Amino acid sequence: MARVRVQPTGRESPFGEDEIIVSKTDLKGRITYANDVFLRVSNYTSREILGAPHSIIRHPEMPRCVFKLLWDTIKAGEEIFAYVLNMAKNGDHYWVFAHVTPTFDDAGAVTGYHSNRRKPDPAQIKKIKPLYDSLLAIEKRAPDRKQGMQQSYDHLIADLRAKGITYDEFVFSV
């Protein structure tokens, strides 16, 4: 499937506080399952989304370093919670509070990943957005994407250490 470059519209793709967006991926992040809420909010059909990289819904205003932290954590076999700004197929956006976990087989090997996402409170987004904006600015100032991601990641980790908290503690304090 050829990926069309979508521009953000500035409109929110709505979903209810009682709804849960669910997806599963393989070890490389390709979507293997998406529930009806995921499909409706993202504006994709199951045919379009299954087998696609989960990054298909990545919003350009989402700092890449948060995804580095997410992937580093789940590849280590641990769960993570994170606020994520996603983008629907038509360019609309939607914020989620994601809980991402590895999926294990009977032998304890990671076979894929599972994510449940809820709608965060607007007050939480108001608190997280300045941090994400600053991380994104660091990424954009760098000479290339890889350096930008690493510099913003280093900034995030240093900021958390200076505050004496872990990423999980920070996320749940928002």
pLDDT band at 3 (very low <50, low <70, confident <90, very high): low
**Confidence at residue 1, expressed as pLDDT on a 0 to 100 scale:** 47
DSSP letters, the chain, are: -PPPPPPP-S-B----TT--EEEEE-TTSBEEEE-HHHHHHHT--HHHHTTSBGGGGB-TTS-HHHHHHHHHHHHTT--EEEEEEEE-TTS-EEEEEEEEEEEE-TTS-EEEEEEEEEPPPHHHHHHHHHHHHHHHHHHHHSSSHHHHHHHHHHHHHHHHHHHT--HHHHHHH-
Average pLDDT for 4-19: 92
Q: For 82-134, how does the pLDDT look when each residue is reduced to its tens digit (9 = 90+)?
A: 999 999 999 999 999 999 999 999 999 999 999 999 999 999 999 999 999 99
Q: Is residue 5 predicted with pLDDT exceeding 90?
A: no
**Confidence at residue 4, expressed as pLDDT on a 0 to 100 scale:** 64
Q: For 24-80, how does the pLDDT look when each residue is reduced to its tens digit (9 = 90+)?
A: 999 999 999 999 999 999 999 999 999 999 999 999 999 999 999 999 999 999 999
CA distance 165 to 157: 10
**Confidence at residue 160, expressed as pLDDT on a 0 to 100 scale:** 95
Pick the closest to residue 97 from 171, 9, 160 (CA basis).
171
Q: For 131-159, how does the pLDDT look when each residue is reduced to its tens digit (9 = 90+)?
A: 999 999 999 999 999 999 999 999 999 99
